Chain A
Amino acid sequence: MIQSEEDPPKEDNFSLERPKDLSPANESSLETYSPEEVNIASSDEYLHLQRRLILTTLILAALAAIISAIVFDIPTTTSLLVGSLSGVLYLRLLARSIGKLGNLSTKVSKFQLLVPVLLVLATSRLPQLELIPALLGFLLYKPAMIIQVILES
């Protein structure tokens, strides 16, 4: 149960539903958790979301690569895989910069925007890579996010 703004906690313990991954030894005081336990459970939830997003993106990339290898040729599939790996890297960098927000930094880093820049530059310089499949592969993280939102709701 999340406490409302009008009723702030009077002690150091929050009243929460018990998370599945926390297993305190004293079963008698199940309903109260210290702020440290609450923070650990909360950051675990964020880490699980990141892992699910990256896993879904990789599964979608593998499916798209199989379809591309069947329908198109090898350079298209390679470009798609390079783009999807760039998308995973971009997502990881974005998640890291959001994870730092509030604790270590007061603004979100824009470092992750270098990933699509380098991807487009690589496709324009290297003849083995194609632009459109690489961009489509890079944007595969968006269907993964939509799937996650649908699954969570």
Chain B
Amino acid sequence: MDSITTAASVVAAGLAVGLGAIGPGIGQGSAAQGAVEGIARQPEAEGKIRGTLLLSFAFMESLTIYGLVVALVLLFANPFAG
């Protein structure tokens, strides 16, 4: 793998993780805030709130995982490495 491909892969890996984590991070923060407020207001609905939070977190975090996988593939199993 030549040096330009290596440098571009490392930069792209960093961008994939960094940019891919911004949106889910903001979303998870606001979702967790709403869930904790909801549990504090209605403790009797804690199980339902936690279940909904689990589902929404899993869907949001999968976006982070996509960026993470792309970055790891670029770093450790680069398809552009000649």
Using a CB–CB cutoff of 8 Å, the interface residues on chain A facing chain B are 2-3, 5, 14, 16, 35, 38-39, 41-46, 49-50, 53, 91, 94-95, 98-99, 101-102, 106-108, 112-113, 116-117, 120-121, 123-124, 131, 135, 139, 141-142, 145, 148-149
Contacts and interface: CB of A to CB of B under 8 A. Distances in A.
A116 B69 contact: yes
Interface residues on B, range: 20 to 34
A123 B47 CA distance: 37
A142 B57 contact: no
**Interface SS of A by simple majority:** helix
A102 to B, nearest CB: 5
A99 B57 CA distance: 12
Of B45, B48, B51, B68, most A-chain CB atoms within 10 Å = B51
Given A91-B58, A95-B54, 4 more contacts: A42-B44, A46-B46, A102-B35, A102-B36
Contacts of A14: 44
B55 A149 contact: yes
**Interface SS of B by simple majority:** helix
Of B48, B53, B58, B72, most A-chain CB atoms within 10 Å = B58
B28 interface: yes
Contact of B32 (A44, A45, A101, A113): A101
Contacts of B68: 113, 116-117, 120
B58 A39 contact: no
Contact of B47 (A45, A53, A94, A116): A45
Contacts of A95: 54
A94 B72 contact: no
B43 A142 contact: no
Sort A-B residue pairs by CB-CB distance and give the 3 closest, nearest first: A45-B47, A42-B47, A124-B76
B15 interface: no
A116 B42 CA distance: 35
B77 A123 contact: yes
